[in-house]
Amino acid sequence: MTTTTENQFVSVPELVQGENPVVQLESLCLRCEKQGETRLLLVNIPRFREVLVSSFECPHCGWRNSEVQEAAEISERGVQYELKVTSPADLQRTVVLSAYASLRIPEVELEAPASGRGRFTTVEGVLVQIAEDLRNYMSGHGSIDAENTSKLQELVTKLERYMAEGRGFHLIVEDPAGNSYLDVLDTDGKLWRFGRMKRFRRTHDMNVSLGIATDENATVGDANESATAPLSSQHVDPEGHSAESEAQRSFAKREVLRIPTECPSCGKPGENRIHETFVPHFQDILLIAFTCDYCGFKSSEVKPSGHCAEKGRKIALHVRNRNDFSRDLVKSDTARLVIPQAGLELEPGTLGSKFTTVEGIIRDARDALSELHRFVQSDDYRPDEIDQQQQRFRAFLHQLDDLLDSSAPEFDLILDDPLGNSFIQNPNAPAEDPQLRIEDYERTAEMNEALGIVPPTEICTN
């Protein structure tokens, strides 16, 4: 068995150069029930995500199978990519298809439905697979009349011409799960002029096909009833306590409070789940999560529980090793995040509120900036100035990647929160942590005004 290196994911350019750390496993062939070989490869697709490519081959019966597997959940929206192929180089653009992705080539009125399995290929690979499937269909169905056989053969000939010329057609990938990818970017990471990408709201039928909606005839009333049922039994107990007070007492016991609310994505009924928890050596916080059973939209946030702190707080952590990456971290939406060594400064409100780890907050920042970088363009600069900005931005993202991948990281992470509602874990608590520096400070009048806080002296004066 061949094992991978410490960095398990390999990039697509490394695959082209032949650097492919493949894991080989013996496994049973489902066709002849003899021992075959499964190969697993972790691939990092630029500007997309990591995927697991698996391939099986049986030396006894010759059966082969390959697919792409990913750990990603169904996205909040579906995605559609469109690429106009104008040169042979476009045939080598990366294509990742989830089990729910369909393909279209409008020039030949060809539409390939979802195959039910993931694939990692190229534009040329898509054409080759479609042509091969059509040939197999013609050879395996002797009942096809001459007219339809001629039409299918004409379609195969057109696909072969596209592969030979490398131009003259559009490829459209549509995935209601939002987990497919077609490389429609240029070498600088900007959206190519012959490429297009858009996200869309799923229909209810799409949600049913994805398995995230089961009852096509569900009514708003039924959903509201099921959402409110866990709150209380809607009665008065023998001691005279109302249902509302029962819910309040259960919430005080750290149970989950469920509040019906409309989904901000599709407008159908969902529910907010609110849970109060205590972070040791910090304070109580509220974890708020929303899930929509109709469109799959999800959101989560963290809110402080209790009174407003009298002073602001600045927390500085000096990261010395990878163990520091696992420290718990609470970032409120009023906190400013700074990593001086990487030149990262995120103003209050960026990323919202988070209850995560040191590694998690850096990854969230990196992913958010990466998504922003993909579609940022400006008409205020010359093309060479835009290229320079793009290069500096990519270098900045590489710095964050180096921080995350380093085996011996050393940098400072600073949270500056004027409300004092942010936190970085001290594993030595209650003893002091030499790597952690906490500074409380008086808020300025400008800070209080921006936060909507009226000092007690002003209340007494008024």
Q: Which CA distances in Å does 35 have to 31, 60, 63, 173?
A: 10, 8, 12, 36
Verify that 328 and 390 share a domain, yes or no: yes
Please list, in sequence order, all residues whose beta carbon lies within 8 angstroms of the beta carbon of residue 461, skipping any fewer than 6 positions away. Answer: none
Any domain includes 169: yes
Mention every residue, 6+ apart, whose C-beta is less than 8 A from residue 191.
184, 185, 197, 374, 375, 377
In a domain? residue 151: yes
Contact 288, 272 (CB under 8 A): yes
Residues 344 and 420 in one domain: yes
The residue among 74, 7, 75, 76 whose CA lies nearest residue 43 is 7
Q: Beta strands 312-319 and 344-346: pairing type?
A: unpaired
> Rounded CA gap, 298 and 376, in Å?
25
Single-letter residue type at 310: E
Alpha helices in 166-203 (DSSP H): none
Q: 372 is in which domain, residue-wise?
A: 312-461
Q: Residue 280 is encoded by which pair of tokens?
A: 């040791």
Q: Are residues 336 and 418 in the same domain?
A: yes
* CA dist., res. 337 & res. 330, Å (int): 11
In a domain, residue 210? The reply is: no
List per-residue pLDDT tens for the chain, 462 residues long.
333 334 444 444 444 444 556 677 777 787 788 888 887 776 655 555 556 667 788 888 887 776 665 545 567 788 899 999 999 999 999 888 888 899 999 999 899 988 777 787 899 999 998 998 888 888 776 667 888 888 889 999 999 999 999 999 999 999 998 888 898 887 777 778 888 888 888 888 888 887 776 554 443 333 333 333 333 333 333 333 333 344 343 334 446 777 888 888 888 888 888 877 777 766 777 778 888 888 888 877 777 666 677 889 999 999 999 999 999 898 988 899 999 998 899 988 888 888 889 999 999 888 888 776 554 555 555 667 767 777 888 888 888 888 888 888 999 999 999 988 899 999 888 889 999 999 999 998 888 888 777 655 554 444
Domains held by the chain: number: 4
> What distances in angstroms separate CA 200 from CA 78, 203, 223, 265, one per listed residue?
5, 9, 24, 11
Residues 230 and 265 in one domain: yes
Is residue 5 included in any domain, yes or no? no
211 domain residue, yes or no: no
CA angle 19/370/412 to nearest 5° reads 95
Residue 181 lies in a domain: yes
- Please tell me the number of Cα atoms within 13 Å of 259 on its side-chain side: 12
Classify residue 394 by its DSSP letter.
H
> Of 200, 232, 259, which marks where a domain is finished?
200
Q: Same structural domain for residues 143 and 165?
A: yes
